Structure 1
Amino acid sequence: MMTPDASSLFDQGPPPPCPAPFNLAGFVLRHASAQPDKIALALLGPSRAERWSYARLEGAVRGIATGLLQRGLTPGDRVLMRLGNTPDFPLAFLGCIAAGLIPVPTSAQLSDPETARIIDILSPALILRDPAVACAETDVPLLPAAALHEMAALPPAEFALGAPDRPAYVVFSSGTSGVPRAVVHAHRAVWARQMMVAGWYDLRASDRLCHAGAFNWTFTLGTGLLDPWAAGATALIPAPGTDPAMLPLLLKRHDATLFAAAPGIFRKLLSRPLPPLPRLRHALSAGEKLPETLRGAWRAETGTEIYEAYGMSECSTFISSSPATPARRGLLGRPQPGRRIALCDGDGPVPLGEPGEICIADSDPGLMLEYLGAPEATAARRHGGWFHTGDLGRMETDGQIAYLGRADDMMNAGGFRVSPQEVEQALHDVPGLTGLAVTDVEIKADTRVIAAFYTAETDLTEALTRRAEAQLARYKQPRLFRRLDRLPTGPNGKLSRRALRQWFTT
């Protein structure tokens, strides 16, 4: 219900408390004993599918937990995951958590220098390593991915139970300063995701949810795997290397009832006619703002809706539309049941209809515990009883929220939030460079890419491209380089990224 003073505050009461003792992996796999033969995961190839039953999935997870403990690891140890786009990724993630260890999933696209910084921040006890995935040289013990296959056959470990608010896993998110932040989440985070099931997915045990992303993307890990398994449903994941053009055929062939993807995937699919998808109930989108043109085109082509969600690494998604509460045109949707959300300025919630910073109650069970080793950065985001997202919105009288953009300069590259300072720091010492600024720009309707604007006596595009390829993950690398006579500044002499976006022309 809305507040009597008509401020931009949404509060319908807290969600049910997380049970204790608790283990995230045990909760996710709790249906395995009741439906051991049901297919939990199907890896969709062009001609065949690799299928994992719930019994096989649970056995592999608990066997990996046994193997990791046999190596001398103890609950609370951090395990860095440098694994590729294979089922090893979710098995290792849940295996660590089952044993009470703290996995740290990371993108396979990260470079050696980026992984070196992560290792310094984490001080991991072990690195799970696919030899094909980059990793900086380190004294930390390495365990090859192949060893996970042997561990999967070991006797099952018991789920390590404990307080729901103890650390369960860590994910990395670029901070506004350009320093990667290690976001620590509690075991209760998966319990809190039930608010997403009610307020976004409408996920049922009978569903077959296909996620278009890779295993080693946190959007896929949560929406594509953990949530379907926690609901007793079936997860469908395209095999590594699958051409996106094949997705509609796979959706039809494997009777997908739900489809989740970032907006860019919907854009690619709609570039050609789609086959009938008679089993599809609806689609789900997150990672970046969904353009209304895409939503309308998908509806016209398939007869189904795309329901959008807004969130971040620190709290997954917490504002969304759903079949029960569809969003009005141009709006994100409503806060999910159980969330407490406000649109704030420096004095607290702003009046309805006024722009403010999107904030979520710092008591939300899905909110991160902290930024590891960065108490000042944690405190800067959590104050006044709220976690401040840095994004702007506007709340309507019915609680629906319009997204108004970023309050800071964070970029969005295909669903990944990227700090411009992080990209600039990787490129700043290229010889001959006298000035550099990075931002995202719109190259055509509803399509944004990272662009680097620089000043120099000569063209440095080739040198900057080489440096970006050596220092940055692919999704962080600028797609455009523009040499300028000068970089724009505001009245205070500070760089104006907003002006760069306005100046940009293709």
Structure 2
Amino acid sequence: MLSVFDTGAPAPCPAPFNMAAHVLAHAGDLPDKIALAVLSPAGADRWSYARLAAAVRGTGTGLLQAGFAPGDILLMRLGNTVEFPIAYLGAIAVGMVPVPTSSQLTAPEVDRMIAGLKPAGILRDAGVPCPDDPGVPVIGTDALEDMRSLPPCDYAMGDPDRLAYIVYTSGTSGVPRAVCHAHRAIWARRMMHEGWYGLGQDDRLLHAGAFNWTFTLGTGLMDPWSVGATALIPARGVGPDTLPLLLKRHDATLFAAAPGVYRKILNHHDRIDLPKLRHGLAAGEKLSDSIRRHWNDATGTRIYEAYGMSECSTFISGSPAHPSRAGMLGQPQDGRRVAIVDADGQPVAMGTEGTIAVGTADPGLMLGYLGAETDTAARIRGEWFLTGDQGHMEEDGQIAYHGRNDDMMNAGGYCVSPLEVEAALLAHPGITEAGATDIEVKEDVRLIAAFYTGPADIPADELAAWCAERLARYKQPRIFRRLDALPTNPNGKLQRQALKALV
């Protein structure tokens, strides 16, 4: 039996179509319902569906009046404020192509993006880094805010396969690549509503991320609005220790965050009373069994994990209807076609490790990398798009994640997943966080190094004995280092490649 999951294709995306029109379709039948609340301990800034739609469509009008045209690329250099999703949807509404970016990027990084994108303009908060002279028109936040009161634009309807927005991914090489997505990408996300969230119109979904993170844009905003639910977003400066208060005070029924946020919350709270919360959602990096277990002990609710990538919307997940088993990511969502393949793109036998791949006909799959047709083609083998991540599929469709190709370690000729080593380390009572990578100690000799955080140094021989009880010899670290903090990216995701320089 081959490692292929296929329950049939999803319903086709309607045509003509506009992503922003789809997201805000409930503004007509739910005008007074709260679409968005930006939360702080002192209160909330609430946006009804009618107010949100008016701001988005007024912004669309303003961008047209500013001289931009459908198809123009607009680089977004905006902060963690409500202006971000309004400008994002406003551009899409009139057929422009927004490019959301992290406010933590430096000016030189943005300059390289500008060279590749050749945007028609930049939407910019003055406090967000950007080259002093980008060579294109810049629209500031004051001008964007003034646009909200303009007459509503008409939605630019068209082919659902046309370009809607661009996001950046670091890629396996570490060089950021522009990932082009079609308007139909939002339609594909409907498979996540049941296949991951269990999302309905009565839900109040609190996402812990910033407005300008793509995980927040999709899971925290676009998806709740698409079904007429309420999105809850913490205000700028709200820390993880305050999130339980906001979850309870604002009757959140769903909570979404990266695994690191769950860990930070649990560092501050042993017990959390959240009577309205049904479950949590996690994505962005592998969720450890310890965080999953501790959250369940503290709240009485489960966390459902999901797997996706910048190139394709989340397509493998646990859900209330289909919980993942211990050690498994979950199963592909109904409507997805997913396989585990070899280097030639051929599905491997059930239970055999290979590369996780998604069908090239998936409506959530990218159109391609901007200006990099060769890189796009390199990810495709026949009818499959290769994710670059390793895993295996079991007979019921559940998939286990084994790590990224580029994260995989090589020690003595054996390939070793860092996740397996990190799981063994995290079971130690003196370790709070762990990261593993391989280190070239001399030419053609690589050893596994383990890095950890904890309240005190742990003798290396104690850790070696601990690992020897849990790992085959070729998987055991030979180097142990305690750090004050593990290197992470701005979203709190472990950067294993950065560990190499610490030995």
TM-score range, shorter chain: 0.7 to 0.9
Tell me the equivalent position of 2:148. 152
Mapped pair 1:31 → 2:6: no
Q: 1:282 to 1:65 in 2, by over 3 A?
A: same
1 CA distance for matches of 2:154 and 2:180? 24
3-state SS in 2 of match to 1:290: coil
1 CA distance for matches of 2:287 and 2:388? 19
Tell me the equivalent position of 2:125. 130
Contact kept in structure 2, 1:409 and 1:497, CA below 8 Å: no
Tell me the equivalent position of 2:207. 211
3-state SS in 2 of match to 1:349: coil
Q: 1:498 to 1:367 in 2, by over 3 A?
A: farther
The one-letter code of the counterpart of 1:79 is: L
Contact kept in structure 2, 1:291 and 1:446, CA below 8 Å: no
Q: How does 1:221-300 map to 2 (within 5 A)?
A: 221-271=217-267, 272-300=269-297
Contact kept in structure 2, 1:488 and 1:499, CA below 8 Å: no
Q: Deviations over 1:362-416 (max 9, x none)?
A: 11000000100001000000221110000000101100000011112499xxxxx
Q: Deviations over 1:271-293 (max 9, x none)?
A: 22333110001110000000011
2 CA distance for matches of 1:505 and 1:99? 55
1 CA distance for matches of 2:3 and 2:240? 40
2 CA distance for matches of 1:32 and 1:497? 58
1 CA distance for matches of 2:335 and 2:93? 27
Mapped pair 1:198 → 2:194: yes
Q: How does 1:390-405 map to 2 (within 5 A)?
A: 390-405=388-403
Contact kept in structure 1, 2:188 and 2:313, CA below 8 Å: no
Contact kept in structure 1, 2:10 and 2:335, CA below 8 Å: yes
3-state SS in 2 of match to 1:91: helix
Contact kept in structure 2, 1:488 and 1:500, CA below 8 Å: no
Pick one of 379, 382, 387 that aligns with 1:381: 379
Tell me the equivalent position of 1:472. none
The one-letter code of the counterpart of 1:107 is: S
The one-letter code of the counterpart of 1:135 is: C
3-state SS in 1 of match to 2:27: coil
2 CA distance for matches of 1:452 and 1:116? 33
Q: How does 1:100-115 map to 2 (within 5 A)?
A: 100-115=95-110
Q: Deviations over 1:97-125 (max 9, x none)?
A: 00100000000000111101100110000
1 CA distance for matches of 2:140 and 2:327? 47
Tell me the equivalent position of 1:490. 444
Q: 1:497 to 1:190 in 2, by over 3 A?
A: farther
2 CA distance for matches of 1:96 and 1:292? 41
1 CA distance for matches of 2:27 and 2:308? 29
3-state SS in 2 of match to 1:31: helix
Pick one of 322, 327, 348 that aligns with 2:324: 327
Q: 1:385 to 1:253 in 2, by over 3 A?
A: same
Tell me the equivalent position of 1:73. 68
Shift in Å, 1:198: 1.6
Mapped pair 1:56 → 2:51: yes
The one-letter code of the counterpart of 1:128 is: L
Between stretches 441-450 and 95-104, larger displacement belongs to 441-450
Q: 1:488 to 1:170 in 2, by over 3 A?
A: farther
2 CA distance for matches of 1:450 and 1:392? 17
2 CA distance for matches of 1:274 and 1:212? 19
Shift in Å, 1:316: 2.2
Q: Deviations over 1:403-462 (max 9, x none)?
A: 011112499xxxxxxxxxxxxxxxxxxxxxxxxxxx999696573569998xxxxxxxxx
1 CA distance for matches of 2:357 and 2:447? 24
Q: Deviations over 1:247-283 (max 9, x none)?
A: 0010000000000000011101112233311000111
Q: 1:217 to 1:187 in 2, by over 3 A?
A: same
Q: 1:381 to 1:46 in 2, by over 3 A?
A: same
Shift in Å, 1:346: 2.8
Q: 1:489 to 1:309 in 2, by over 3 A?
A: farther
Contact kept in structure 1, 2:407 and 2:437, CA below 8 Å: no
Q: 1:204 to 1:83 in 2, by over 3 A?
A: same
The one-letter code of the counterpart of 2:51 is: R
Mapped pair 1:312 → 2:309: yes
Between stretches 251-260 and 347-356, larger displacement belongs to 347-356
Mapped pair 1:120 → 2:95: no
Tell me the equivalent position of 2:433. 447
Contact kept in structure 2, 1:248 and 1:274, CA below 8 Å: no
Shift in Å, 1:176: 2.0
Q: How does 1:348-359 map to 2 (within 5 A)?
A: 348-359=346-357
Shift in Å, 1:505: 1.6
2 CA distance for matches of 1:410 and 1:52? 45
Mapped pair 1:45 → 2:43: no
Contact kept in structure 2, 1:12 and 1:340, CA below 8 Å: yes
3-state SS in 2 of match to 1:378: helix
Tell me the equivalent position of 2:480. 505
The one-letter code of the counterpart of 1:447 is: E
Between stretches 295-304 and 158-167, larger displacement belongs to 295-304
2 CA distance for matches of 1:497 and 1:112? 37
Shift in Å, 1:490: 3.0
Q: Deviations over 1:458-499 (max 9, x none)?
A: xxxxxxxxxxxxxxxxxxxxxxxxxxxx744437xxxx5966
Q: How does 1:412-491 map to 2 (within 5 A)?
A: 445=431, 447-448=433-434, 487-490=441-444
3-state SS in 2 of match to 1:64: helix
Q: 1:379 to 1:448 in 2, by over 3 A?
A: farther
| TM-score normalised over the length of structure 2 | 0.84
Shift in Å, 1:25: 0.3
Pick one of 359, 367, 376 that aligns with 1:369: 367
Contact kept in structure 1, 2:280 and 2:303, CA below 8 Å: yes
Tell me the equivalent position of 2:6. 11
Q: Structure 2, unaligned stretches of length 5 or more?
A: 410-417, 452-476, 482-503
Q: Deviations over 1:52-84 (max 9, x none)?
A: 000000000000000000111111100000000
Instruction: Supply the RMSD in Å over aligned alpha carbons.
Output: 2.1
Q: 1:74 to 1:497 in 2, by over 3 A?
A: farther
Between stretches 345-354 and 282-291, larger displacement belongs to 345-354
The one-letter code of the counterpart of 2:347 is: P
| TM-score normalised over the length of structure 1 | 0.83
3-state SS in 2 of match to 1:16: coil
